[in-house]
Each structure stands twice: as C-alpha cells, then as structure tokens.
C-alpha cells in the first residue's frame, strides 16, 4: 500500500461522493493493462470509459504531449497554434469536408456549444431520444432523458421533446418547423450500447431537411474509431457533430463541428472557452489520429470486436450481443451485471455495467489478441462466480 491509511478512507475524506467509492487505486498502465497499488494486474476493458484509444502510456501520445508542453503549452484563444490548426483540419477531413470546428475540454462542453449554436437558428425546440446521454452540465442534461439525472436539477433549459430511440416515425412526428435541432447518438452508449435499425440516421436526415431543423449527431462515445470507422454516422452527413472521449486518447478535449451554413451560426462573442483548443490537447489528438492510421486500428477494432462478440455471446447466459467494433453491449439472462463486474475484477478484468442487466466493453483500440484470449478464457468462470454470488 502506498499509505498506511487506505485509499477508500482518504477518498471519502477528501473527495465529494459523486461517483460512489472507487473500486481500486490504480498506479500504472501499459497498453490495455493497468496495475493497482498492490501490484495486481488488470486487462482494461473500460479504457477510462471509451477514452484511452491508444491504451495506456502509448509512446506516440507521451512523445506528442511532452514535446508540445516543452515547446508551447497554452496561449488562450486570442491566438492560434500549429497543432490547433492541424487537428481542426484533420477533423474536418475525417468528417468529409465542408465543416468547421469549435474545440472544448469535454463531451458535455462540446454539446453545450452545439446547443447554443442551435439557438442561433432563432428556434428553441429540440428533439432528443429516450435513453440518450449527452452530459451533465445544465444544457446537455436538458437533452439527457434519464429521470434520476435530471429531476434533482430542474428546471433545465429548453423545450425538449424525447422520442423513442430508433423509431423514425416517432421522430418525424415530433419535429416541426419550430424545431431547432434533433440530437441523437448513432449508437446509444450509456444506455448499454443500443443500435438503431438500419436507415434510422438517414430517416432523421430527411426529417431535418423537411423541417429545417439541424441534425446533430453526438459521437462523443462512438466517434474516432470506436466502431471500426472514424465516425459511426459515416454515410449520413449531419449539420452538427460532437466528439470527445477517444479524441485525444485520455487528454481532456472535445470538439463541436458544424457543417455548411451551420458553421456560421456562432459569431464572435457568442461563445468561448479558456482551455478549449489548447496546443497540448490538440497535439494529443493529432497523435491519436496518426497512430490509428499507422497501426491500422480501425480494422483491428472491427476484427477484435467480432471475435469478442462471437466469443462472449456463445455462452447462453448472454441473451443478446450488440454493437460495432470495440463498442460492445451484452445482455445477461438475469440482473447480475454488478456481480459480473465484481467477479471479473477479482479475475483481473475491468468491465462496466451501464444497467442492471447490461455489460459494456469499450477497450483500447490497441487491445492485443492475448487480451481477447484472456477474457474469452475467463468468461464462463466469471459468469459462474456472478450467478452463484447472486443466487
């Protein structure tokens, strides 16, 4: 132990109890593995919640951040820098061109920027989806459907209508010529990896076109290679696109992209940020993009994701397998997801349970074949432990 007083006690004494007690004190990571303060090793299938795309301590990320910090660390948005310009250009290219970027420090801030941008249409109504998650600040929370997150903080801004996710007709019925924006995730992450029917995003595009509403895809979780493609919405062009989690591989960053005329909605004085777009975060983002390209990680995500879904789904205590690439959701035959996560941790695997019945896997894109083999080998035993423990 690093201190005679345990981490749980120190945490309780010095940090607000917003997340519940921490499960471990982690001290080190390499690739898809992390180590706790007692020297125990874990395969990290959570990756900081779909963030550590390059895993832990990737040399390309360490080098990029170190070199940039040694050169120019922060300058304010009265100035621009090479890394900021380069990352904006790279994101515009990934998004298919014709867009411009506003950088932030997190996913919720990227969504705040998009929400404010939508108000500049002169309209205020927003249509969002049941089960959708867009962040915890007041604006993003207003678009998030979960009652437990919202209710203690009402009144929240905006006139927001929630429609069932994946139902194109319900969406079309809710959107009118008073609607500023339609916001949805191409795959719902926090809901437990919920994939909409084929054609849903294209139908949303048509609805937005018919009413003049902005189509806003929140790809904070699905974007930047997570699904085996740069963007999960590839093929359907939104008016607004938000990114964050995996974008700089663990360095805090977010981005709000707007396409075509929507890119002119925010004008000088309308919005701002002190840290957003700082050169260190942008250098980290560039290192992530280059490494994904150099190491062929989009294809790796596709291949490894298929192996994991097939292997883990083969156990009949898994009733449904969803997702794309390395964004994977598993439904269990009973409400034992907390027991599964605990049993996995005892066996050296960090998993996540977004709902009582659902397990989510969002490992680093640099996950090794051996990391997949290890989980597939341990999986039946993890389920045995969990179901016994729960019985």
Instruction: Provide the binding-site residues for ligand PLP, judged by CB under 6 A.
Output: 106-108, 111, 133-135, 185, 189-190, 218, 220-221, 244-245
How far is it, in rounded angstroms, from Cα 54 to Cα 167?
35
The catalytic position among 245, 251, 259, 349 is 245
Cα-Cα end-to-end distance for the chain: 33
Instruction: Copy the structure tokens of residue 193.
Output: 């990896």
How far is it, in rounded angstroms, from Cα 194 to Cα 301?
18
Q: Which is nearer to ligand PLP, 232 or 340 (CB)?
A: 232
Query: In the bound complex, what is the minimum distance in angstroms from residue 244's beta carbon to ligand PLP?
Result: 5
Query: In the bound complex, what is the minimum distance in angstroms from residue 368's beta carbon to ligand PLP?
Result: 25
Q: Is 239 a catalytic residue?
A: no
- Measured at CB, which residue is nearest to ligand PLP? 107
Q: Which is nearer to ligand PLP, 244 or 366 (CB)?
A: 244
Query: In the bound complex, what is the minimum distance in angstroms from residue 140's beta carbon to ligand PLP?
Result: 6
Query: In the bound complex, what is the minimum distance in angstroms from residue 134's beta carbon to ligand PLP?
Result: 5
Q: In residues, how long is the chain? A: 391
Query: In the bound complex, what is the minimum distance in angstroms from residue 173's beta carbon to ligand PLP?
Result: 24
The catalytic position among 102, 103, 133, 251 is 133
Query: In the bound complex, what is the minimum distance in angstroms from residue 67's beta carbon to ligand PLP?
Result: 25
H or E element, residue 118:
helix 107-119
H or E element, residue 324:
strand 318-324
Sign of the C-alpha dihedral computed for residues 153, 242, 271 and 253 taken in this order: positive
Q: Which residues pair with 277 in a beta bridge?
A: none
Nearest alpha carbon to residue 120 among 9, 19, 339, 270: 270
The catalytic position among 218, 239, 371, 385 is 218
How far is it, in rounded angstroms, from Cα 280 to Cα 303?
32
Q: Which is nearer to ligand PLP, 34 or 244 (CB)?
A: 244
Q: Is 146 a catalytic residue?
A: no
Q: Which is nearer to ligand PLP, 190 or 339 (CB)?
A: 190
User: E strands within 75-124?
Assistant: 99-104
Nearest alpha carbon to residue 73 among 296, 286, 275, 334: 275
DSSP state of 124: -
Q: Which is nearer to ligand PLP, 135 or 192 (CB)?
A: 135
CA-based diameter of the chain, in Å?
Answer: 64
Q: Which is nearer to ligand PLP, 137 or 333 (CB)?
A: 137
Q: Is 218 a catalytic residue?
A: yes
User: Contact at 8 Å (CB) between 307 and 321?
Assistant: no
Catalytic residue list: 133, 218, 245
């Amino acid at each position: 132990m690093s201190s005679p007083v345990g981490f749980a006690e120190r945490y309780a004494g010095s940090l607000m109890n917003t997340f519940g007690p921490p499960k471990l004190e982690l001290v080190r990571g390499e690739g898809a593995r992390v180590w706790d303060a007692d020297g125990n090793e874990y395969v990290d299938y959570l990756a900081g919640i779909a963030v550590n795309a390059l895993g832990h301590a990737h040399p390309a990320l360490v080098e990029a951040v170190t070199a940039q910090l040694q050169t120019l660390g922060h300058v304010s948005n009265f100035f621009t820098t090479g890394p900021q310009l380069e990352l904006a250009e790279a994101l515009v290219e990934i998004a298919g061109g014709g867009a411009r970027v506003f950088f932030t420090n997190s996913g919720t801030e990227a969504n705040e920027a998009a929400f404010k941008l939508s108000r500049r249409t002169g309209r205020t109504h927003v249509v969002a989806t049941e089960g959708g998650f867009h962040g915890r600040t007041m604006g993003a929370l207003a678009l998030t459907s979960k009652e437990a997150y919202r209710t203690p903080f009402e009144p929240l801004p905006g006139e927001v209508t929630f429609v069932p996710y994946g139902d194109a007709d319900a969406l079309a019925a809710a959107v009118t010529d008073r609607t500023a924006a339609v916001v949805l995730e191409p795959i719902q992450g926090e809901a437990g990896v919920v994939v909409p029917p084929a054609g849903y995003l294209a139908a949303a595009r048509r609805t937005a076109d018919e009413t003049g509403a902005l189509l806003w895809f929140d790809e904070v979780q699905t974007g930047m290679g997570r699904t085996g493609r740069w963007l999960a919405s590839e093929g359907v062009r939104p008016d607004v696109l938000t990114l964050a989690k995996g974008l700089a591989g663990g360095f805090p960053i977010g981005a709000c992209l707007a396409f075509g005329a929507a890119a002119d909605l925010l004008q000088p004085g309308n919005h701002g940020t002190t840290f957003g777009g700082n050169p260190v975060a942008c250098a980290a983002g560039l290192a992530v993009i280059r490494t994904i390209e150099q190491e062929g990680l989009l294809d790796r995500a596709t291949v490894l994701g298929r192996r994991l879904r097939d292997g883990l789904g083969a156990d009949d205590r898994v009733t449904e397998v969803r997702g794309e690439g390395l964004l994977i959701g598993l439904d269990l035959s009973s409400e034992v997801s907390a027991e599964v996560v605990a049993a996995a941790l005892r066996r050296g695997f960090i998993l996540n349970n977004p709902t009582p019945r659902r397990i989510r896997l969002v490992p680093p894109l640099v996950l090794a074949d051996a990391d997949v083999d290890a989980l597939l080998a341990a999986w039946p035993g993890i389920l045995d432990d969990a179901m016994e423990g729960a019985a």
